[in-house]
Structure 1
């Protein structure tokens, strides 16, 4: 039991010293640390890669150091983008080393996501930005879609699927889906609407997203059987 306690004491001291030096801005060499603490370089690698995984560390030429402040400031925004855009299933947001690698401006990107491209620059339109802001602020809108006006629309989410952007919205207690390429104009209203967590969960599900290109057809079929 004493031997086990001694092991944890040495581990605690070693990690405390390493963390304090990293916070002081030092670059720590594995070989020098191994000689100082009397442990193997493999043990120290385990310290840095597992026990200190939540620190923003970079590794180069056998040395570990904290990422410079200017680089670290971008990580929270990057994590938020990954989580909010729904690509966390492709790129794990908790893997800081991978995120730093992908967001580095030096050299070519080691990872690419194939999406087939957009048929038109929908995201560059004023309508897209106005809808994104209305969704964030829970503001109702009036839509002009293929020349037809839709008033009192509560925009819920913009979703990219099958090379198209879709607007998922509610109107008169009904769920509606519009192709963004069909939206001609957006007027943001002063009226607001309430967030519905159950709708957030529904529109984030893979099953729902996969039906978006066929949503109108499915709705027409359901409506026909109700008549």
Structure 2
């Protein structure tokens, strides 16, 4: 067996015998949505891991081969817990964490998704992740100012559900694709001032925007 899903559709007793799980030496993908006591030092061959986070988990940092990691209900203060998982290429976080401290050790990170994370307010350190090319931010209510991306030299694809302004866009050297739901200042002119953008999408066409989507796309094709 190379993949296993333990969903929350049915409840497993807390006293579950994990020996059978640990015996799956070929397991490469694992998903768990239940609060089980798991020692990941017995699952060191995993490459894809999706978890509803629990402090009953131990030795997550020993998973050196994991390339895709998704953590729901992540209630640690920062990313120190996963900072030694050096092969992570794709990281998705949802929860009450307040900082990304530790993420700079993930040198191979290419995609970062932060979703429904109400306490995070500063992610400026991601500019130092040289391989990070895609950023997805959805419903992180304290994360609205993205001016720090003016200095970013690696980002190619960007989704932000809500942000104060697009003023940082023209100086992003590699940005090719952007999409969003709401720009609070209504000024979409920075999209047209970018020398690199190829794909733009937003919804809805809000009344206070100074351009409609079709106008933006028409002008983009003429550049």
Q: TM-score, normalised by structure 1?
A: 0.25
Larger helix percent: 1
Q: TM-score, normalised by structure 2?
A: 0.26
